[in-house]
């Protein structure tokens, strides 16, 4: 049930939103830029120490993890309601803000549930727990993906109506009550936790982090891209903009420390110590492990951003996408996740990780083939089934791997850092996927996303020989 709560908002931020925006007449390149709302998942490590250390007033009686979980679930409901009442045709910027809020609170919920899961059982049971968590997660995605598109198809027509999507997102907000019920029925992990005696300093630091993020956004948005029509140069210029913006926001925090407005010990406890712990355990290999984490889901995420737009432009209806892509696809993903959990327990984590990376990349070639054929439901079902089984398998393998890397001393912070790193580079590249398709077409694009996964295979082979996780 907690997996369901975690999986429900994700497609409301990504693929379901892309269908809504496409139906609203928003340009394809703008629609794919909305995938950058996913940077909330990529930067969630910034506020994960607060989730780890700070106790919430009024909610603390239900336990540390559960109190944070209850608060974030209520905030997800609130932001989904805000999203539903705004029409992107009238103000696309308000929609962007609302969706970013959904992503932010959803990412925070993921921090808590991941820590809850890791703290609840020993490593030997993480394979089973990860598989069932992913099953719930995918059922939540089924509701947020196929369920929302079915409702849009049922209530709507060929003519765009904002009221249809308003009812869809309001319905999804009601389904978040399942997560709240699960939370209220759950038990707090038995791990003893000493609450921080520096609560005010933690919140002060959190406010400063938010200000630094605002500085990052303002600088990034005000640096004009001089290579708008040259997509490759535009991509590298975006990297440059990100580095400059990051340096400026980091400079803000550095100056606060220098003038002693920000306590240095908070930063040390929140970020330095968890990173130091990881480096001490893995030494020089830590860098390669972090590179593997940042690249493992690249092929899957970059391809997935364009999937719904590809289906629509290929001529499939919303109801067909809901039925075959979201409904049957989700059950295929659950099946793949169960296979991944079984393989990890039977053959080990590293072998399962390699197989997952291999089949996730190969499945993208099926989309390249689908791009050359006429619209055919049987072809669509076959490709989607294969892709989702491979995605579920790879996802389960990766969750088990990340759980094994995490120290119980810094559960939320380290896992949030790992999963944030997993999404940052793929989400950055995925924001340009619409422009890439404009240049190279769907077939070449899908082949390219498959090739992106090749370096990961070599990394897994090397790391498995030096520092395997059983």
What is the pLDDT at residue 45? 75
In this prediction, residue 109 has a pLDDT band, given cuts at 50, 70 and 90, of very high
Least confident of 35-49, 174-188, 381-395: 35-49
In this prediction, residue 49 has a pLDDT band, given cuts at 50, 70 and 90, of confident
Separation between Cα atoms, residue 420 and residue 100, nearest integer Å: 16
| pTM of structure | 0.72
Task: Report, as an integer, the average pLDDT of 87-107.
Answer: 89
Separation between Cα atoms, residue 118 and residue 88, nearest integer Å: 39
Enumerate the domain spans of the chain: 2-198+263-466, 199-262
**Rg over CA atoms, the chain:** 21
Least confident of 93-97, 112-116, 258-262: 258-262
CATH no. of 2-198+263-466: 1.20.1250.20
User: What number of H helices and E strands is found in the chain?
Assistant: 24, 0
What is the pLDDT at residue 230? 63
| Residue pLDDT, tens place only, 288-299 | 888 888 888 888
First CA to last CA distance, the chain = 28
Q: 392, 340 in Cβ contact below 8 A?
A: yes
What crossing angle do the helices spanning 273-282 and 411-430 adopt, rounded to 10°?
90
Q: Counting Cβ atoms within 10 Å, is residue 409 exposed (0-12), middle (13-18) or buried (19+)?
A: exposed
What is the pLDDT at residue 309? 80
């Amino acid at each position: 049930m907690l997996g369901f709560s975690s999986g429900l908002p994700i497609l409301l931020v990504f693929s379901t939103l892309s269908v809504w925006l496409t139906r609203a007449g928003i340009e394809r390149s703008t629609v794919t830029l909305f995938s950058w709302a996913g940077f909330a998942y990529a930067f969630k490590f910034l506020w994960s120490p607060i989730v780890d250390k700070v106790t919430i007033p009024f909610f603390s009686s239900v336990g540390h993890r559960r109190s944070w979980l209850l608060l974030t679930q209520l905030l997800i409901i609130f932001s989904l309601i805000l999203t539903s009442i705004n029409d992107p045709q009238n103000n696309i910027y308000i929609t962007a803000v609302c969706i970013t809020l959904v992503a932010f609170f959803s990412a925070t919920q993921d921090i808590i549930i991941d820590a809850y899961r890791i703290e609840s059982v020993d490593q030997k049971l993480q394979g089973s727990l990860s598989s069932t968590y992913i099953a719930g997660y995918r059922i939540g995605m089924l509701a947020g993906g196929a369920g929302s598109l079915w409702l849009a198809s049922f209530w709507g027509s060929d003519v765009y109506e904002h009221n249809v999507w308003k009812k869809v997102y309001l319905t999804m907000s009601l389904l978040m009550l399942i997560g709240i019920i699960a939370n209220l029925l759950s038990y707090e992990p038995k791990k003893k936790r000493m609450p921080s005696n520096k609560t005010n300093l933690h919140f002060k630091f959190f406010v400063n982090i938010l200000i630094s993020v605002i500085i990052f956004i303002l600088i990034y948005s005000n640096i004009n891209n001089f290579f708008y029509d040259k997509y490759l140069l535009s991509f590298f210029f975006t990297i440059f903009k990100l580095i400059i913006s990051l340096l400026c926001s980091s400079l803000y925090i550095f100056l606060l420390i220098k003038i002693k407005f920000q306590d240095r010990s908070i930063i040390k406890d929140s970020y330095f110590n968890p990173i130091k712990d990881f480096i001490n355990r893995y030494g020089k290999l830590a860098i390669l492990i972090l590179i593997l984490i940042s690249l493992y889901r690249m092929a899957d995420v970059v391809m997935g951003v364009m999937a719904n737009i590809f289906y629509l432009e290929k001529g499939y209806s919303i109801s067909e996408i809901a039925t075959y892509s979201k409904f049957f696809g989700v059950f295929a993903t659950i099946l793949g996740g169960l296979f991944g959990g079984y393989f990890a327990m039977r053959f080990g984590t590293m072998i399962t990780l390699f197989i997952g990376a291999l089949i996730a990349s190969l499945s993208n070639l099926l989309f390249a083939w689908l791009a050359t054929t006429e619209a055919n439901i049987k072809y669509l079902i076959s490709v989607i089934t294969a892709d989702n089984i491979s995605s579920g398998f790879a996802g389960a393998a990766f969750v088990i791997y990340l759980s094994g890397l995490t120290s119980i001393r810094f559960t939320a912070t380290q896992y949030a850092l790992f999963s944030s790193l997993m999404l940052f580079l793929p989400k950055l590249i995925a924001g340009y996927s619409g422009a890439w398709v404009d240049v190279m077409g769907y077939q070449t694009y899908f082949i390219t996303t498959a090739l992106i996964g090749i370096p990961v295979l070599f990394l897994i082979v090397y790391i498995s020989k030096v520092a395997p996780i059983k």
